[in-house]
């Protein structure tokens, strides 16, 4: 069955109803009569878990660069999140962090983070997006292929076509001869005109669309869908540190349920062993979410009895374990191994179809330890809106312009993620490149300087918050400061105040 739309009506289809998909739907709503969001799960009414988002059990933060993008797409969302219980914490004022080069000082506010459980964050954004009558939700349905025009031919890129591997092998010579012609035609005439979906009862239908956005996450089928349209396989890179995450919810001690800082114990990749890290984030309802992680050979376990021990004995400082000793566990330990950094370089492809955009984890998935996925998705959705505003809805090449533009925030987060992960054993086939070693050496010097220089700490946070690009770290004043090193002596311990220590039961 094909679901047609009238010629004068504009329709966009967004695949995936999570954080990226909802923000993309909001970004498109101003240009179309109808946005259809296709979601594999049945989404809950409020802030509740769902099957397709297991990562919600782990720590999340929305850096200010992403929070600003969300607020521009959804005016009033900051207040709505606050009313729902989310926290806005000033950075670095309310961050107690041990870096590889020592404890950071708590400088006056320069940036901020939004902290909440992922279920609450998604539910609050989802409620505002779906309040728009132009946006409709198709639940318990999954896309399995694009419908496109390639050199004048109607082409369905059904995923089921990939099942005939043996038949394709026998026809390989013929396919090779036609591939070049299809790719050449795709440069100028390939266009997506809809998407094939399968509902929970097995029924299949086609949704016609003027634009399709793939926000389906790490399991995206875009690479094979594009090759079925006659395009070459996209360039892809993976950096896998072997990181394992283990998280658990706690009820904070009553005096520490409001105004407590983020606690972060970072690994030191220079020591040559497994990287172990921990986070303690204050979220809604007086709770802490604690996330522990370790690379190959240093992984945390799912054993609840071992959780606090790992935090106290395996991290570079026992602070998180000491804090958890005085908190009440509220959940079992959740573990995930889906942490590989994976990026598709769609912006480098020699051709790109009209009317198709890939965003979020479907484009680039980052090691969650750096907390950039939510912010990059929000900035990408805002770029989607702004490029269409600038070039026009039906302008030729607008989809490709979006794909190239979103490479900027994606690339910034990617460089930060792999800049550390590439040094762990087995992360890549050949280890870090010379360029990566030189960049890491300079960044390391900056981080060391930031432990005792508030101006450099602000410049570094400009980049980690995704508010500014890495070029600010190459300004002459920053280079000179890095050469000089920190202006203040190293701290001997975590910079918690006496009141915070007492509230957490440490005194």
User: Given this model, what pLDDT does residue 168 score?
Assistant: 37
Q: Is 165 exposed, middle or buried (CB count within 10 Å of its CB: 0-12, 13-18, 19+)?
A: exposed
338 phi, psi to nearest 5 deg: -85, 75
Strands 11-15 and 34-38: parallel
199-203: which pairs have CB atoms within 8 A and are 24 or more residues apart?
199/138, 199/140, 199/141, 200/140, 200/141, 203/1
Biggest CA-to-CA distance, the chain: 76
Burial 385-418 (b: 16+ CB within 10 A, else e): bebbeeeeeeeeebbbbbbbbbbebbbbbbebbb
User: Given this model, what pLDDT does residue 5 score?
Assistant: 55
d(CA 82, CA 300): 33
d(CA 48, CA 56): 10
State which residues of the chain have pLDDT below 50.
151-154, 157-188
CA proximity to 463, closest of 471, 454, 475:
471
CA proximity to 316, closest of 273, 281, 260:
273
User: Given this model, what pLDDT does residue 382 score?
Assistant: 98
Q: Which helix (H) or strand (E) covers residue 499, if one does?
A: helix 498-503
d(CA 73, CA 304): 40
User: Given this model, what pLDDT does residue 335 score?
Assistant: 93
d(CA 135, CA 141): 16
H-state helical runs in 232-370: 304-313, 319-325
For residue 295 the two structure tokens come to: 């690379």
Q: Is the dihedral of CA 80, 81, 82, 85 positive or negative?
A: positive
Strands 356-358 and 211-214: parallel
User: Given this model, what pLDDT does residue 88 score?
Assistant: 96
Inter-residue contact 67 to 83 (CB < 8 Å): no
User: Given this model, what pLDDT does residue 8 score?
Assistant: 65
Inter-residue contact 34 to 14 (CB < 8 Å): no
d(CA 372, CA 409): 10
Q: How far is CA 443 from CA 101, 419, 447, in A?
A: 11, 9, 6
User: Given this model, what pLDDT does residue 150 score?
Assistant: 63
3-state secondary structure of 35: strand
User: Given this model, what pLDDT does residue 294 score?
Assistant: 93
Q: Which helix (H) or strand (E) covers residue 23, if one does?
A: helix 19-29
d(CA 392, CA 372): 29
DSSP letter string, 481-492: HHHH--SSPPPS
* 423-439 pLDDT, tens digit each: 887 888 888 889 889 99
């Amino acid at each position: 069955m094909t679901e047609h739309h009238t010629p004068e009506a504009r329709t966009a289809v967004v695949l995936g109803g999570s954080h990226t998909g909802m923000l993309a739907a909001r970004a498109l709503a101003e240009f179309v009569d109808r946005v259809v969001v296709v979601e594999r799960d049945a989404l809950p009414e409020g802030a509740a878990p769902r099957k397709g988002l297991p990562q919600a059990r782990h720590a999340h933060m929305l850096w200010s660069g992403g929070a600003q993008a969300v607020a521009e797409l959804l005016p009033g969302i900051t207040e709505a999140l606050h009313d729902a219980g989310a926290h806005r914490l000033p950075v670095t004022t309310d961050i107690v962090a041990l870096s590889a080069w020592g404890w950071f000082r708590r400088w006056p506010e320069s940036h901020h983070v939004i902290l909440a459980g992922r279920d609450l964050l998604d539910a609050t954004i989802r409620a505002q997006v779906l309040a728009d009558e132009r946006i409709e939700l198709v639940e318990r349905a999954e896309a399995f292929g694009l419908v496109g025009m390639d050199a004048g031919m109607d082409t369905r890129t059904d995923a089921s076509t990939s099942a005939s591997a043996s038949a394709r092998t026998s026809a390989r010579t013929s396919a090779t001869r036609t591939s070049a012609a299809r790719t050449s035609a795709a440069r100028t005439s390939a266009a997506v005109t809809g998407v094939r979906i399968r509902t929970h009862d097995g029924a299949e239908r086609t949704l016609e669309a003027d634009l399709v956005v793939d926000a389906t996450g790490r399991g995206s089928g875009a690479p094979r869908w594009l090759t079925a349209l006659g395009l070459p396989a996209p360039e892809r890179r993976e950096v896998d540190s072997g990181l394992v995450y283990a998280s658990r919810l706690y009820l904070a001690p009553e005096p520490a349920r409001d105004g407590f800082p983020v606690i972060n114990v970072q690994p030191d990749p220079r020591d040559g062993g497994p990287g172990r890290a921990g986070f303690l984030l204050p979220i809604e309802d007086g709770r802490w979410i604690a996330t522990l992680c370790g690379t190959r050979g240093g992984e945390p376990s799912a054993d609840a009895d071992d959780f606090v021990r790992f935090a106290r004995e395996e991290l570079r400082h026992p602070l998180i374990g000491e804090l958890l000793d005085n908190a009440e566990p509220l959940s079992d330990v959740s573990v995930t191994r889906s942490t590989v950094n994976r990026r598709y370089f769609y912006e480098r492809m020699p051709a790109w179809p009209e009317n198709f955009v890939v965003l979020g984890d479907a484009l680039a998935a980052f090691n969650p330890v750096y907390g950039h996925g939510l912010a990059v998705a929000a900035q990408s959705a805002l770029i989607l809106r702004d490029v269409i505003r600038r070039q026009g809805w039906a302008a030729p090449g607008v989809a490709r312009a979006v794909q190239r533009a979103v490479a900027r925030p994606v690339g910034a987060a990617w460089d930060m993620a792999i800049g550390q992960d590439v040094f762990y054993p087995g992360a890549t086939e050949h280890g870090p490149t010379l360029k990566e070693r030189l960049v890491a050496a300079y960044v390391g010097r900056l981080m060391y300087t930031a432990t005792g220089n508030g101006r450099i700490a602000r410049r570094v946070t400009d980049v980690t918050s995704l508010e500014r690009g890495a070029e600010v770290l190459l300004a002459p004043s920053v280079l000179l400061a890095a050469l000089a090193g920190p202006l203040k002596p190293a701290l001997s311990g975590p910079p918690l105040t006496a009141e915070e220590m007492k509230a957490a039961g440490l005194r």
